[in-house]
Amino acid sequence: MRSIIIRALNLPTTRTMIVCVCRRVNDKTIAQAARCGMSFDDIQIDMGVATQCGQCESSARAVWMQCRPSQPTAHLSRQQPAELTAHTPA
Residue 33's domain is classified under what CATH number? Answer: 1.10.10.1100
Instruction: Give dist(CA 80, CA 35) in Å, integer.
Output: 31
Q: How many domains does the chain have?
A: 1
Decide if 88 is inside a domain. Answer: no
Decide if 49 is inside a domain. Answer: yes
Distance between first and last Cα of the chain: 83
Decide if 22 is inside a domain. Answer: yes
Q: State the 10-residue block means of pLDDT for the chain, 90 residues long.
A: 50 80 96 95 97 96 92 62 58
Decide if 81 is inside a domain. Answer: no
Full residue range of the structural domain in which residue 40 is found: 17-70
Question: How many CB atoms neighbour CB 30 within 10 A?
Answer: 28
pTM flag (> 0.75): no
Q: Exposed, middle or buried, 83 (CB in 10 Å: 0-12/13-18/19+)?
A: exposed
Decide if 76 is inside a domain. Answer: no
